[in-house]
Amino acid sequence: MDAIVDNALRPETIPERTPVPPFDLVIFGAGGDLALRKLFPALAQRNREGVLPGESRILAIVRKEEDVEGLPKQIAKRLDEEGIPKDQVEPFLRRLTMVLLDALKPETYKTLKKALGDSDRVRSFYLSTPPDLFIPICENLAKADILTPTSRVILEKPLGRDLASARAINDAVARILPESRTYRIDHYLGKETVQNLLVLRFANTLFERTWSSRDIDHVQITVAETVGLEQRAGYYDKSGHMRDMVQNHLMQLLTLFAIEPPNMLEAGAVRDEKIKVLKALRPIVGPDVQRYTVRGQYGPGQIDGQRVKGYADELGHASNTETFVAIRCEVDNWRWAGVPIYLRTGKRMAQRYSEIAVTFKPVPHSIFGNGGGDRLDANRLFIRLQPNDGVQLQLMMKVPGSGRLKIVPRQLDLRYSTAFDERTPDAYERLLTDVIRGDQTLFMHRDEVEQAWTWVDPIIAGWQDYYPHPHRYAAGSWGPSQAIGLIERDGRSWADPDLV
């Protein structure tokens, strides 16, 4: 492990105030949707806040001559849409260097080598490309003698489409760069509320003592989107929602929720505990997919009062690709045995929101009788990732008044927007600067990725044999009715986002 990474992984250097060293950030796929929507606005925001050292540069890889002049204009337009002040846009654009290069042609990397020069700055290479380009780009960087002892590579999800392809990518990259300089990015790990999971749990006795099967009845993890295919039809129909969302985003949320306390807040310690959770996930194989999973695909419907097409109509042909997944899973270890964890994620759903909902076990006996109402609701903890990031705790409270005793559930509500004066940064703002600092805490180890595929692959195989056709659901709904049956068979129900 090189000295920069070694220093960056010390716990005392993890806070945001750690200086960012001078760097060159090279973005492959700079004209793509992710770079324009997320990467450049995140970097511009960091630049606006004075986080980026003055001599640092951003090199945007483009394939077409017209993009050398055209891409900066697109970036400027996007920054304006993001509310970056006009007097801050030009200073950011001056950091940009357009590099004409074909990722698959080794001879064109000479242009990049010349643009980088002999600087000893940290070099980070962001591969915002399809995963089939990860290996050739890394190999061409090595052949062109561009990689230095402080170089890092950032791999965007999805990492492969199954265990075999993920392992092939990991093996190929490992021949070129060590694990300590390989950053597998999942932007959910950069969200403030996701990071706050560890603080909420391990800095508060109230929750750490109740965070187990002794006090928790069940857990729901929901990531709902209202968008459809947008510009991703070619990729998405070959991938589906299991590969696109469950294998990465939901698996990461599950592991951070369920991990044992690491001995310190350090990348290796946190990753080790996350891997243990993935290994403890009970396998779902063969015909079990019919009982413990639900596949869905949206049809025509309404989103925000507007009629929208169904998936097949957007795609232009019939398809069995799933746009919705619900899973009932369990973590077979001492802490979580017997606690069902329900995963739910889909496109074209009724609302856009992501949350973890924890339902605690009810009190064993009510002393209030019928005077307190028909029942005492169990306490619930809602960890909301988006929108309205924050934490809500549902408690039973007495309604004010001197008449008949009446008890109702009410929320203790902590919203980031009202609880803190600081602006909530976008996930990529944190993650990009963490790479440059050399902090891998919020990135995935290859073992995490491969273990997640080890659990997901048998489910996909089971679908092919026992569940080939997804259930239909109307766009603007909460998914197919079978997802309701999945949880109601256990005497439970999905949390209502309107009540949070």
Q: What pLDDT score does 13 carry?
A: 38
Strand partners for 471 = 296
User: In percent, how much of the chain has pLDDT > 70?
Assistant: 95
Strand partners for 341 = 219, 329
Average pLDDT, the chain: 90
pLDDT of 500 over the 60 cut: no
Q: How many C-alpha atoms does 20 have within 13 Å on its Cβ side?
A: 27
| Longest CA pairwise span in the chain (Å) | 84
Single-letter residue type at 55:
E
List, for residues 443-464, the tens digit of each pLDDT value. 999 999 999 999 999 999 999 9
Buried b (16+ CB within 10 A) or exposed e, 188-199: bbbbbbbbbbbe
List, for residues 170-217, the tens digit of each pLDDT value. 999 999 999 999 999 988 888 888 888 889 999 999 998 999 999 999
Q: What pLDDT score does 3 carry?
A: 33
List, for residues 302-349, the tens digit of each pLDDT value. 999 999 999 999 999 999 999 999 999 999 999 999 999 999 999 999
Higher model confidence: residue 177 or residue 66? 177
The tokens for 409 are 């559930």
pLDDT of 12 over the 70 cut: no
End-to-end alpha carbon distance in the chain: 45
Residue located via tokens 């654009």: 93
Separation CA 185–CA 200 (nearest Å): 23
pLDDT of 374 over the 80 cut: no
Position 107 confidence tier, pLDDT thresholds 50, 70, 90: very high
Q: What pLDDT score does 499 carry?
A: 61
Separation CA 218–CA 361 (nearest Å): 8
CA 133 to chain centre: 21
Separation CA 292–CA 489 (nearest Å): 11
Nearest to 296 by CA among 493, 467, 492: 467
Position 16 confidence tier, pLDDT thresholds 50, 70, 90: very low
Q: 3-class SS at 393?
A: strand
Q: 3-class SS at 107?
A: helix
Q: Which stretch of 175-179, 370-374, 428-432, 454-458 has the lowest confidence by average pLDDT?
A: 370-374
| Residues annotated catalytic, as ranges | 249
User: In percent, how much of the chain has pLDDT > 90?
Assistant: 68
Strand partners for 58 = 25, 96
CA angle 155, 42, 129 (to 5 degrees): 30
In this prediction, residues 484-488 reach a mean pLDDT of: 96
